[in-house]
Structure 1
Amino acid sequence: MGIGATAGVAAAGGFALSANASGKSAAKSSDALVFDKDGYTELTTTITDADGHDKEVVYHFWKAITYVTNPVDEKYQSLKVSVPVKIDGKAVDATDAPIVFANSVGGYMPSSVADATGVGGGMTGAPTGGASGSATPSASASSSSGTGEVQSGGNAMLNGQGEMVNLGKLGLAAGYVVVEPGARGRTLTDSDGNYYGTAPAAIVDLKAAVRYVRANKGVIPGDTDRIVSTGTSAGGALSSLLGASGDSRVYDSYLKELGAAEASDAIFATGAWCPITDLEHADGAYEWNWGTNVTQSTGKAVDQAVSKELRSQFAEYQASLRLRGLNGFGPLTARNYDEYMVKQYLEPSATKYLTDLSDSDRASYLAANTFITWSGGRATFSWADFLTHVGARKKTTPAFDAFDLSTGENNEFGKDKTQARHFTAYSLKNDTTGATGKRLESDIPEKLNLMNPMYHLKEHNPSRSKHWWIRLGTKDSDTSLTISANLAAAVADLGDDVNHLYYWDEGHGSNIDPADFITWIAKVTGYKKRATK
């Protein structure tokens, strides 16, 4: 019987468990993964909701629940649960409320809730800023030292005023149940120097956490069939992957080894902000998008010969996807993607931005940005002028699989005592570190599939999420703008509901429409209003 075939069972237990990374075998226990419904602390907090109103929220809080029976590291393989019981003095019944499953992964780094003392806080580590005004770094913007440092990111976003946005808190203030899982990450090493948080550890952990929640249907508060995942940057990639790979059996051996609950790991809806994903094709996509722009660190254009070769790889990959653009655009290719981006996303984004400004502010902005033609309440411009407007790119080339193995993504594919490895044949061929071998290591292709939502969408996974909310800033050069556009096109081609747009002039980690997202959750889940009594 496949692990993913028994959605909604009461609890896991009674099946054989393998040894964990330390060689210790976990004992069988029929109730090890049963949620303790009475094990909460009642807390009161004031939350500024998605509409900017302060709300007093009384909620029940469960801290640091280990979600597998055979954890490699409980510090990371645990989750916390927050359930509203009273908002502004009115009792709330969250029995059937949607569950916001908010991961806080940033940079594919470890994420822990072990010391959390309430909703939306207590994460070890802190988000880092960047030249783009980012709240969350991409993996390649982070240190790849094997120190076990923790990066909080998936819930750390910035609104249009530079203020932090925490979707866990906003979900709680809306009357939703909030589950915040920890997960292993790429920098974790054991006492022997072995890396135990590299791919596919993070997605396996998040799937195990979803299984824990769904295995406790009827015990844990909330509608376990209406789980809505959220995440930003690498956390956005993992949220996308959760949505695309629901109940895929390619993870079964990993989940069994951890002693994950025998339940479904499919989620209902996916929220992904600036997802750093499709890693094996990200270098080509990045060069197609930003190849002619200078880099922030040097002020010079990157090696154009390398950039050209990578752009050629993108063209081949894009053709192989056989995607069609939204709104009847037709086949998406490297030759017409610039037109698609401008018409489908960038001009509408700029138009909304300018429309929302006062007359005087709009006039000032247009005077400072003469590449935009403003006529009839609509902004128009060329792709080339847009690239000039964005200016410097954040990353060198290759942006993800660096020739010198220096990126966080190289670390993400580390193994055993090897901190970083190549995951594309092109970068291996051009390696500058003296790495031996002419072929990628044999486990890399499988791990790339395990980490890429596009793989599962190409397979038409029937248990994927059918509702998608995808966002990216137009000035986000942590990745290519085509990455999320391809993701949106892929799910739309499968007939799924997709809500995808770009934030004008925003950088990495932005979330300027959180109120709309909170409303969207209610809409797609059918949870029309908070139940009060």
Structure 2
Amino acid sequence: MKHRAVKRRNVVIGIGAAAGAAAVGGITLNANASNTRGGSTSGSSGALVFDKDDYTELTETIADAAGKNHEVVYRFYKPRNYVANPSDDTHQSLVVSVPVKIDGKAVDASKAPIVLANAVGAYMPSSVAKATGVGQAQLEMTGMGAMPGGGTPSGIPSGMPNGGTGAINGMVNLAKLAIAAGYVAVEPGTRGRSLTDSSGAYYGTAPAAIVDLKAAVRYIRFNKGRIPGNTDRIVSTGTSAGGAMSALLGASGDSPLYDTYLKEAGAADASDAIFATGAWCPIADLEHADAAYEWNWGANKLSTGKQVDQTVSKELKSQFAEYQASLKLKGMKGFGNLTARNYDEYLLKTYLQPSATKYLAALSGSDRTAYLAKNTFITWSDGKATFTWDDYLTHVGARKKTTPAFDAFDQSAGENNEFGTGTTKARHFTAYSLVNDTTGLTAKRLDSDIPELLRLMNPMYHIAQRHSNRSKHWWIRLGTSDSDTSLTVSANLAAALDNIGDDVDHEYYWDQGHATNTDPGDFITWVAKVTGYKK
């Protein structure tokens, strides 16, 4: 990678409790910065003005979605805070990358879409503090632990380590693909559920991540004319918990529900609405996720061969039926009312069989024959794949999570930590799990702040509100073998958006697990299409 310095300066990033300062990735970390919430600094102060001349010009070879290499010359703007009163400015900072030349041809990105690529996973912190170029946002996974009964916490692909810092294994780097396509890429860091201050209080739990993403959007829009790109054409992307946050960001544009949090952080005085949303395998609708999970995967055993508690599974399935009926959703493509009784048929006809058909049709004749020989549950006729729901479940095999999958009776799930508060690491967020708690709790009711936190964290709530400034264009993807969540979560999300008239592109990847993206090139093309961008 070649470097050409342009108006260099030290970027100051605070780390709160430690004394002195240290250099990390070429960035000076100022240990004297505040690590407490609150403050009165205006979000529209000069501290949030983007210096468009403070960049380093880099040259990098970047492969596009088809694997073709391109020489991309781009301006890289080092980490800078996007709020005036950061509680943790190591995480509440972002980087910007702007292409100026691709394969020797000059690029004018002044009107290009801005891809806001978050690196959130498992509701853990993400950071760009060490970034020295595009696509280096990191997910921090230290101290995640393991799920009871086997498996890994929500949002982490199987086989991924539960400690250390790094990008999620196998996830496509959309920031790099964005600048290789001539778009502007913005990568924000965010607070996450594992962060504690010097007193042991958790300050990155709900709703910190979504507040940070909204603040990042406000920063971008506040700096219209200074940050290159079209600030009215921001496209959010995220995977897993990051997919849920991306969907929530799109659904809740300019919702007043977040105003107090944003003011406290010193967010810029601007809109937090985005134009389009990309969400891969979103771990969303958490208060109903346990019920949805059992409806989908209740019959499947764990990887250990052990069957989950079927009494609990059946009770949760019953809850799903009530919840699904309350949504009063109509399926996409004219399916009709969606209920717990016909949802398997809906998934088969609308997503699963078309997904298998697309996969098989793309294979060579010999490879297709070999695949069908190994997967005899599929009937291949007239270029279409058909099979039953039960055979599909058998094909997927082991479920990833025990029951309840998200609000664990022993409060050990990552999502229990996500709703922690103060020095309390984990809390229940569903009445069912509270009643069945195994840790010795005697409380009869959920903590009084939980209902509001659930509204702050659930895109389904905001879709029902029909915010006028919500995203109107949606790209939603999930792997058919992804048992990190229920297939109904993304399907309900898509149907709810479709029912209120939004443009929704929703598909499942056949035989793919969690955190996968098999059509990134199509997404990059979709961004240009929905934003109306032409080079």
Length-normalised TM-score, structure 1: 0.89
Q: Report how far residue 341 of structure 1 moved.
A: 0.3
Q: Report how far residue 21 of structure 1 moved.
A: 5.8
Separation in 1, partners of 2:485, 2:346: 18
Pair 1:445-2:451 in alignment: yes
Q: Give the corresponding residue for 2:51.
A: 36
Assess if the C-alpha contact under 8 Å between 2:153 and 2:413 holds in 1.
Answer: no
**Residue number among 414, 419, 428 corresponding to 1:422 in the alignment:** 428
Assess if the C-alpha contact under 8 Å between 1:108 and 1:186 holds in 2.
Answer: yes
Separation in 1, partners of 2:110, 2:80: 20
Q: Report how far residue 218 of structure 1 moved.
A: 1.2
Q: Secondary structure at the match of 2:447?
A: coil
Query: Following superposition of structure 1 onto structure 2, how do residues 453-472 of structure 1 map, counting pairs within 5 Å?
Result: 453-472=459-478
Q: Secondary structure at the match of 1:184?
A: coil
Q: Give the corresponding residue for 1:279.
A: 286
Q: Report how far residue 125 of structure 1 moved.
A: 4.2
Q: Give the corresponding residue for 1:350.
A: 356
Which whole-Å deviations, capped at 9, do the CAs of 1:422-447 have from their partners, x for residues lacking one?
A: 00000000000012311000000000
Query: Following superposition of structure 1 onto structure 2, how do residues 166-245 of structure 1 map, counting pairs within 5 Å?
Result: 166-245=173-252
Q: Secondary structure at the match of 1:394?
A: coil
Q: Report how far residue 126 of structure 1 moved.
A: 7.1
Aligned AA (1:36): D
Assess if the C-alpha contact under 8 Å between 2:113 and 2:234 holds in 1.
Answer: yes
Assess if the C-alpha contact under 8 Å between 2:37 and 2:87 holds in 1.
Answer: no
Q: Give the corresponding residue for 2:25.
A: none
Pair 1:435-2:449 in alignment: no
Separation in 2, partners of 1:463, 1:311: 35
Assess if the C-alpha contact under 8 Å between 1:140 and 1:408 holds in 2.
Answer: no
Aligned AA (1:43): L
Aligned AA (1:223): N
Separation in 1, partners of 2:58, 2:99: 10
Q: Give the corresponding residue for 1:116.
A: 131
**Residue number among 481, 486, 490 corresponding to 2:487 in the alignment:** 481
Which whole-Å deviations, capped at 9, do the CAs of 1:188-228 have from their partners, x for residues lacking one?
A: 00010000000000000000000000001111100000000
Separation in 1, partners of 2:526, 2:432: 41
Q: Give the corresponding residue for 2:379.
A: 373
Which whole-Å deviations, capped at 9, do the CAs of 1:443-488 have from their partners, x for residues lacking one?
A: 0000000000000001111111000000000000000000000000
Assess if the C-alpha contact under 8 Å between 2:137 and 2:189 holds in 1.
Answer: no
Pair 1:401-2:407 in alignment: yes
Separation in 1, partners of 2:490, 2:38: 41
Q: Report how far residue 349 of structure 1 moved.
A: 0.3
Which whole-Å deviations, capped at 9, do the CAs of 1:159-201 have from their partners, x for residues lacking one?
A: xxxxx52000000100000000000000000010000000000
Aligned AA (1:392): A
Assess if the C-alpha contact under 8 Å between 1:140 and 1:407 holds in 2.
Answer: no
- Residues 493, 235 of structure 1: alpha-carbon distance in 2 compared, 3 angstrom cutoff: same
Aligned AA (2:276): A
In the alignment, structure 2 segments of 5+ residues that lack a partner are 1-32
Separation in 2, partners of 1:342, 1:124: 34
Q: Give the corresponding residue for 1:525.
A: 531
Separation in 2, partners of 1:190, 1:241: 27
Separation in 1, partners of 2:137, 2:354: 38
Assess if the C-alpha contact under 8 Å between 2:157 and 2:514 holds in 1.
Answer: no
Aligned AA (2:426): A
Assess if the C-alpha contact under 8 Å between 2:155 and 2:514 holds in 1.
Answer: no
Which whole-Å deviations, capped at 9, do the CAs of 1:300-337 have from their partners, x for residues lacking one?
A: 21111000000000000000001100010000000000
Assess if the C-alpha contact under 8 Å between 2:119 and 2:189 holds in 1.
Answer: yes
Assess if the C-alpha contact under 8 Å between 1:58 and 1:87 holds in 2.
Answer: yes
Separation in 2, partners of 1:258, 1:126: 24
Assess if the C-alpha contact under 8 Å between 1:302 and 1:396 holds in 2.
Answer: yes
- Residues 46, 480 of structure 1: alpha-carbon distance in 2 compared, 3 angstrom cutoff: same
Aligned AA (1:138): S
Separation in 1, partners of 2:317, 2:192: 30
Q: Report how far residue 121 of structure 1 moved.
A: 1.4
Pair 1:51-2:75 in alignment: no
Pair 1:22-2:29 in alignment: no
Aligned AA (1:441): D
Q: Secondary structure at the match of 2:369?
A: helix
More relative contact order, 1 or 2 (CA 8 Å, 6+ apart): 1
Aligned AA (1:38): D
Aligned residues: 493
Assess if the C-alpha contact under 8 Å between 1:107 and 1:151 holds in 2.
Answer: no
- Residues 327, 275 of structure 1: alpha-carbon distance in 2 compared, 3 angstrom cutoff: same
Q: Give the corresponding residue for 1:263.
A: 270
- Residues 157, 227 of structure 1: alpha-carbon distance in 2 compared, 3 angstrom cutoff: farther
Q: Give the corresponding residue for 1:72.
A: 87
Q: Report how far residue 137 of structure 1 moved.
A: 6.0
Pair 1:82-2:88 in alignment: no
Separation in 1, partners of 2:155, 2:75: 34
Separation in 1, partners of 2:218, 2:519: 30
Q: Report how far residue 67 of structure 1 moved.
A: 0.3
Q: Give the corresponding residue for 1:305.
A: 311
Pair 1:386-2:402 in alignment: no
Q: Give the corresponding residue for 1:323.
A: 329
Q: Report how far residue 42 of structure 1 moved.
A: 0.6
- Residues 501, 24 of structure 1: alpha-carbon distance in 2 compared, 3 angstrom cutoff: closer
Assess if the C-alpha contact under 8 Å between 2:37 and 2:265 holds in 1.
Answer: no
- Residues 23, 362 of structure 1: alpha-carbon distance in 2 compared, 3 angstrom cutoff: closer
Assess if the C-alpha contact under 8 Å between 1:113 and 1:124 holds in 2.
Answer: no
Q: Secondary structure at the match of 1:32?
A: helix
Aligned AA (1:89): G
Q: Report how far residue 31 of structure 1 moved.
A: 1.0
Which whole-Å deviations, capped at 9, do the CAs of 1:9-29 have from their partners, x for residues lacking one?
A: xxxxxxxxxx97626746557
Assess if the C-alpha contact under 8 Å between 1:111 and 1:183 holds in 2.
Answer: yes
Q: Give the corresponding residue for 1:95.
A: 110
In the alignment, structure 1 segments of 5+ residues that lack a partner are 1-18, 159-163
**Residue number among 133, 138, 144 corresponding to 2:154 in the alignment:** 138
Separation in 1, partners of 2:513, 2:51: 41
Supply the RMSD in Å over aligned alpha carbons.
2.1
Aligned AA (1:189): T
Assess if the C-alpha contact under 8 Å between 1:48 and 1:54 holds in 2.
Answer: yes
Pair 1:289-2:303 in alignment: no
Separation in 2, partners of 1:111, 1:299: 34
Aligned AA (1:350): A
Length-normalised TM-score, structure 2: 0.89
Which whole-Å deviations, capped at 9, do the CAs of 1:385-433 have from their partners, x for residues lacking one?
A: 1000001000000000000000000000000000000000000000000
Which whole-Å deviations, capped at 9, do the CAs of 1:237-286 have from their partners, x for residues lacking one?
A: 00000000000000000000011001000000000000000000000000
Pair 1:61-2:73 in alignment: no
Pair 1:516-2:522 in alignment: yes
Assess if the C-alpha contact under 8 Å between 1:411 and 1:420 holds in 2.
Answer: yes
Separation in 2, partners of 1:139, 1:177: 27
